[in-house]
Amino acid sequence: MATININKILIANRGEIACRIIRTAQRMGIECVAVYSDADRSAQHVLLADEAWHIGDAPAKESYLRADVILDVAKRSNADAVHPGYGFLSENAEFADACAKNQIKFIGPPKAAIEAMGSKSEAKNIMHKAGVPLVQGYHGEDQSEQRLQQEADKIGYPLLIKATAGGGGKGMRVVESSADFIDALNSCKREAKSSFGDDKVLVEKYLTKPRHVEIQVFADSLNNAVHLFERDCSVQRRHQKVIEEAPAPGLSEDIRDKMGQVAITAARAIGYEGAGTVEFLYDEDGSFYFMEMNTRLQVEHPVTEKITGLDLVEWQITVANGLPLPLSQQQLSINGHAFEARIYAEDPNNNYLPTTGQITHLGLPALNENVRVDSGIVAGDNVSVYYDPMIAKLIVWDKDRTSALARLRGALKDFHVAGLTTNIEFLHQLASHKAFNDADLDTHFLEKHDGDFTLEREQNETEILLAASLQVMMQQSAVPANRTIDADSPWNDHTGWRLNEDNFHVIDFALNDRVISVTAHFRDSNTRCTQAFSFELDGKTYPVSGYVDNNKIHLNIEGHQSVVSYARENNRLVIFRNAANWQLELVDNSVSEDDTKSQANLSAPMPGTVIDVLVKNGDQVEEGQALMVMEAMKMEHTIKAHQSLTVKEVLYQVGDLVDDGAELIVVEENS
């Protein structure tokens, strides 16, 4: 390929990977064009790019999967090249071909290479001819039940049925016996047809304790190819990677070299160009078998960058310019060990279902040569239902695996997200697990140790409640610094002192499905920088002192000093401790039943969901009558009439989400 000069790149993607590509390209002096959907108008990749173009509605099929629209933007913006990132159009052979036909460089492999690896069965046929080792299996065209059953019985059980057009764990079934084969086959075909529009399958021997080891390969247009060593991605949930690391623990130099050379052979067999990943199943006896090839940059590529000191996106752009690979195989080496943990908006206690909502607080660990965070999200952004719920990738590096694991645990403790549920605590438990620390890995790791990840809190809940109480009292007693110029003036004292009486304050916290009351008594402090209290909780009294600074609560409970982090927005308070978090709601007791008689409208005491509406427009209601039921933090709250009223308008219905303080029902006082 002739040398070209890429000066402007359109990034046909969003979120974290778009931001990551933009940073490298701009560092190289290349202009960047972003594209965005309705949901991403103010997203970080849009703000980082030199220019951005709207491409459609929020659903991906109406925006980021619209190859025709994106190509049109590339031409209108005078982009020299398109970088597809990963996902969306990154392995779409027709899109790559359309770019080439319009003289726009597709930063990835040619159409033929993408097509060759697009079908799992065809890919294995190509690899078989190239001498790449394969797991025993059947990848043929005859898809009749009789032939597939015959081949399965010949291979032996357990075995794996896999959709040839599959990915992401869809269209896969493990079969334990011949009697179960047909039911599993039909189930697999139905899912494959629904997910990919193609119900063709292959059948393979199922390895009982395999590891998922993949090789990063790079090839240029001048017939040069290298491997950049391996990554171990064995820890998976539903065939989705959870934590990746490089290099693979316990892999001998001999196996590493053999696997790397096989990966290069695989790349050359399909005329590959650019960054790709050859994935293998690695068995206990040291044998390994080709699984598939991803013809794009992988989500976990940063761990390879950390152990090689290279920028793989820069390599991609270099190769796309028609230049040779920057380094030869002999010039490449491994330095240290790296991990990547994927921070997701998901609920580990609810079968890891995705969660959505606004990120009200995002606190990152200290970033340096050992700790890196790749993200396309900042505080205030929303995780929507339209795209993958990954918030960020946390990447750590150190001189060896043990040191890198310690870095990972420490960084997870300091990674704070408020506003929605995440998997951070689960990841910390995984990084702390003995079997994981001992590198006793295989692709069934999480299934085997499922009972170990229950997210039961070992930390003392009392300490969390006392820390929350200290924060509440410190915030309530704070006064503006310019209230008086006399620091010693009694009017500048905000310790709660009262003549001839002990001032106290009652704080009600909603935690999970309980309301917990803490009574706070002001006490004298020995220093000006701290406040002292006596907190009554569950029938016990705790002397507590401390101060609040930069989202940290410095706590002293009967001589035991500790520091926890927090985030607060209105009546919601989140306490972070050792990668766990406690989400508390402050129940507003400032409005008593008598005081509310002057209110004409009824408002939500906390953010939540309407679960029952008990009145309709025009109803006459009496004092104390239930009008609406809300649920927040797994706790029900009944909205009652404060006096005899007429319902003028019900503003919310069952299932509606309600903000804190939102007007719920418009009423009129009866004379």
- Residues 178-193 have pLDDT tens digits of 999 999 999 999 888 8
Residues 33 and 45 sit within 8 Å (Cβ to Cβ):
no
**DSSP string covering 39-90, please?**
GGTT-HHHHHSSEEEEEE-SSGGGTTT-HHHHHHHHHHTT-SEEE--SSTTT
How far, in Å, CA of 427 to CA of 631, rounded?
A: 29
Both 259 and 371 in a single domain?
A: yes
User: What pLDDT is recorded for position 208?
Assistant: 83
Domain with 333 in it: what CATH number? 3.30.470.20
Q: Which of 189, 205, 221 is the last residue of a domain?
A: 205
User: What pLDDT is recorded for position 595?
Assistant: 42
Average pLDDT over residues 227-245: 94
The answer to whether position 129 is within a domain reads: no
Tell me the CA distances in angstroms from 166 to 119, 253, 427, one per residue in order. Answer: 8, 32, 27
User: What pLDDT is recorded for position 124?
Assistant: 86
User: What pLDDT is recorded for position 243?
Assistant: 97
Average pLDDT over residues 66-90: 97
pLDDT band at 444 (very low <50, low <70, confident <90, very high): very high
The answer to whether position 88 is within a domain reads: yes
User: What pLDDT is recorded for position 636?
Assistant: 65
How far, in Å, CA of 627 to CA of 615, rounded?
A: 6
Cβ neighbours around 388 below 10 Å, total: 16
Average pLDDT over residues 259-266: 97
The owner of tokens 């796309």 is 320
**DSSP string covering 208-277, please?**
SS-EEEEEEEEE-TTS-EEEEEEEEEEEEETTEEEEEEES-TT--HHHHHHHHHHHHHHHHHTT--EEEE
Q: Is the peptide bond before 247 cis (omega within 30 degrees of 0)?
A: yes
Domain with 469 in it: what CATH number? 3.30.700.30
User: What pLDDT is recorded for position 573?
Assistant: 95
**DSSP string covering 312-364, please?**
HHHHHHHHHTTPPPSS-GGG----SEEEEEEEESEEGGGTTEE--EE--EEEP
List pLDDT tens digits, range 122-157: 898 899 899 999 988 898 899 999 999 999 999 999
Tell me: pLDDT of 479 over 50: no
Domain with 179 in it: what CATH number? 3.30.1490.20
List pLDDT tens digits, range 388-427: 999 999 999 999 999 999 999 999 999 999 999 999 999 9
Least confident of 14-23, 162-171, 235-244: 162-171
Least confident of 69-78, 198-207, 577-586, 657-666: 657-666
User: What pLDDT is recorded for position 602?
Assistant: 81
435 three-state secondary structure: helix
Q: Which residues contact 487 (CB under 8 A, 6 or more apart)?
A: none
AA letter at 526: N
The reply to whether 296 belongs to the active site is yes
The answer to whether position 114 is within a domain reads: no
Q: What share of the chain is helix, strand, coil (3-state, %, to 5)?
A: 30, 35, 40
The answer to whether position 117 is within a domain reads: no
CA torsion sign for 41, 44, 48, 49 is negative
Both 250 and 361 in a single domain?
A: yes
Domain with 81 in it: what CATH number? 3.40.50.20
User: What pLDDT is recorded for position 487?
Assistant: 46
Q: Of these residues, 296, 342, 407, 572, which one is catalytic?
A: 296
User: What pLDDT is recorded for position 120?
Assistant: 78
Q: Which residues contact 181 (CB under 8 A, 6 or more apart)?
A: 148, 149, 152, 175
User: What pLDDT is recorded for position 641?
Assistant: 87
User: What pLDDT is recorded for position 436?
Assistant: 98
Tell me the CA distances in angstroms from 238 to 1, 91, 234, 444, 495, one per residue in order. Answer: 41, 22, 12, 10, 55
The answer to whether position 126 is within a domain reads: no
The answer to whether position 575 is within a domain reads: yes
List pLDDT tens digits, range 607-620: 678 888 999 999 99
The answer to whether position 387 is within a domain reads: yes
Both 74 and 169 in a single domain?
A: no
How far, in Å, CA of 578 to CA of 412, rounded?
A: 8
Both 472 and 535 in a single domain?
A: yes
**DSSP string covering 490-506, please?**
GGG--S--BTTB--EEE
Tell me: pLDDT of 503 over 90: no
Rounded to the nearest integer, the mean pLDDT of the chain is 89
How far, in Å, CA of 485 to CA of 490, rounded?
A: 12
Tell me: pLDDT of 499 over 60: no
Both 389 and 293 in a single domain?
A: yes
Both 290 and 389 in a single domain?
A: yes
User: What pLDDT is recorded for position 259?
Assistant: 97
Long-range contacts of 454-462 (CB under 8 A, 24+ apart): 455/348, 455/349, 455/425, 455/426, 455/429, 455/580, 457/580, 459/577, 459/578, 459/580, 461/582, 462/537, 462/538, 462/542
Domain with 610 in it: what CATH number? 2.40.50.100
Of 624 and 620, which is predicted with more confidence?
Answer: 620
The owner of tokens 């009546």 is 571
pLDDT band at 546 (very low <50, low <70, confident <90, very high): very high
How many percent of the chain have pLDDT more than 90?
A: 71
How far, in Å, CA of 37 to CA of 203, rounded?
A: 40
Both 252 and 391 in a single domain?
A: yes
Both 367 and 442 in a single domain?
A: yes
| b/e code 74-109 from CB counts within 10 Å (16+ = b) | beebebbbbbbbbbbbbbbbebbbbbeeeebbbbbb
Of 195 and 305, which is predicted with more confidence?
Answer: 305
Both 355 and 440 in a single domain?
A: yes
Both 283 and 409 in a single domain?
A: yes
Which of 145-154, 343-352, 507-516, 597-606 has maximum average pLDDT? 145-154
The owner of tokens 């240029």 is 220
Q: Which of 557, 587, 617 is the last residue of a domain?
A: 587
AA letter at 437: N
The owner of tokens 């011949």 is 178
Q: How many domains are contained in the chain?
A: 5
Tell me: pLDDT of 455 over 90: no
The answer to whether position 73 is within a domain reads: yes
User: What pLDDT is recorded for position 480?
Assistant: 42
How far, in Å, CA of 304 to CA of 506, rounded?
A: 54
Both 85 and 141 in a single domain?
A: no
Q: Which helix (H) or strand (E) holds 204?
A: strand 201-205
**Which residue range is the domain that position 152 belongs to?**
136-205
Both 330 and 273 in a single domain?
A: yes
Average pLDDT over residues 369-387: 94
Q: Which of 205, 240, 263 is the last residue of a domain?
A: 205
Tell me: pLDDT of 495 over 60: no
List pLDDT tens digits, range 557-598: 999 999 999 999 888 999 999 999 999 999 875 544 444 333
